[in-house]
Amino acid sequence: MSTNYPWHWIIEWSTPGTAHMHAVNKVYAFGQSKFQKWIIVDYVDLGKALVIDGKIQSSLYDEFVYHESLVHPAMILNGNPKKVLILGGGEGATAREALRFKSVEKVIMVDIDDQVVEVCKKYLPEWHQYSFYNSKVKVIIDDAEHYIDNTDEKFDVIISDLVDPEEAGPAVRLYTREFYNKIVNKLEKNGIFVTQSTSPVLTPTVHAVIFNTIKSVFKYATSYYSYIRSFEGIWGFVIASNDINVENVKNLDVDNMINKMAEGKNRYYDNESHAHMFNVPKFIRNILEKEKRVSTLSNPIYLPA
């Protein structure tokens, strides 16, 4: 090499004309499961990261932003979460955050890919903090829908931490109205459902349709947003409930509730971050206003859209 430029790169394509390049410092492990190709790398800019099918899942740089954003609003809006269901969540960090809530008695994590779960156990201790081994946690290797169809359990909080609905991937049907209708039936009274919902700027249509679909199923639903540098943009979440009004919660006293309900300290989610997350930039509100479609099994939304 005639330069000292980095030579090992992962190029994450956001659109056919947009990509983000990250230089790889080191490879921890690499493999191909039944479902997906995964690699755990050390990025020059983001540190250790899990990449599945060319898409970063999270990095040490800001996994806490993603996982606190995903877990905490649902938990405090529920107020007293005892049983938590996590769909996906292979890194174990979603379970880690759920376990911080003192009321939690049981966390069930359903992930389709046992190879990825094993790899996360081994290589991502900074993420899971041994939550896999916590006696309150049960890991089930199963398709999320198959699990939902066959369980008798109900939950206070259901967290969907699934991969994006890629056309060729396994998750498209897990973002449809039919699936969300099944979710409703697995929620306890005052139950909350929350899901990551792709980026409102990089994949605005998919994001808006996920929001619409959930909104068409639940009585209350709202979206909120965190900037996650690892994902190269603002990331969307949709939170919903049939009993708790999750809308118009911009001024929630998060600090107080986290302080009462959870152990340890938050690294991201607090009053001011909450206000940032739930006050939505106008360009995102515009996207939501324009898109009317919902995703159904017969007419699903998926990436690229």
**Catalytic: which of 62, 113, 156, 161?**
161
Task: Name the site residues for a copy of itself (rule: CB under 8 A).
Answer: 1-23, 25-27, 30, 32, 39, 43-45, 51, 53-55, 62, 65, 166, 168, 201-203, 226-227, 229, 232-234, 250, 266-270, 272-273, 275-276, 279-283, 285, 303-304
Q: What radius of gyration, in Å, describes the C-alpha atoms of the chain?
A: 18
Separation CA 284–CA 228 (nearest Å): 16
* Min dist. Cβ of residue 183 to a copy of itself (A): 26
State how far Cα 67 lies from the chain centre. 7
Q: Is 36 annotated as a binding residue?
A: yes
Q: Is 142 annotated as a binding residue?
A: no
CB of 3 or CB of 298, closer to a copy of itself: 3
Backbone angles phi, psi at 92, to 5 degrees: 85, 0
Q: Is 144 annotated as a binding residue?
A: yes
Q: Is 57 annotated as a binding residue?
A: no
Q: Is 200 annotated as a binding residue?
A: no
User: CB neighbours (10 Å) of residue 59?
Assistant: 24
* Min dist. Cβ of residue 150 to a copy of itself (A): 31
* Min dist. Cβ of residue 18 to a copy of itself (A): 4
Q: Is 4 exposed, middle or buried (0-12, 13-18, 19+ CB in 10 A)?
A: exposed
Q: Look up residue 164 and give its amino acid.
A: D
CB of 62 or CB of 161, closer to a copy of itself: 62
Nearest CA to 240 out of 177, 167, 303, 286 is that of 177
The answer to whether 258 touches 269, Cβ cutoff 8 Å, is yes
CB of 21 or CB of 297, closer to a copy of itself: 21
Q: Confirm whether 243 is a catalytic residue.
A: no
* Min dist. Cβ of residue 32 to a copy of itself (A): 8
Q: What Å distances lie between residue 152 and 1, 147, 182, 191, 303, CA to CA?
A: 60, 10, 12, 15, 32
CB of 22 or CB of 186, closer to a copy of itself: 22
Q: Which residues are catalytic?
A: 161
Annotated binding site: 36, 67, 91, 111, 143-144, 170
Annotated binding site for spermidine: 67, 91
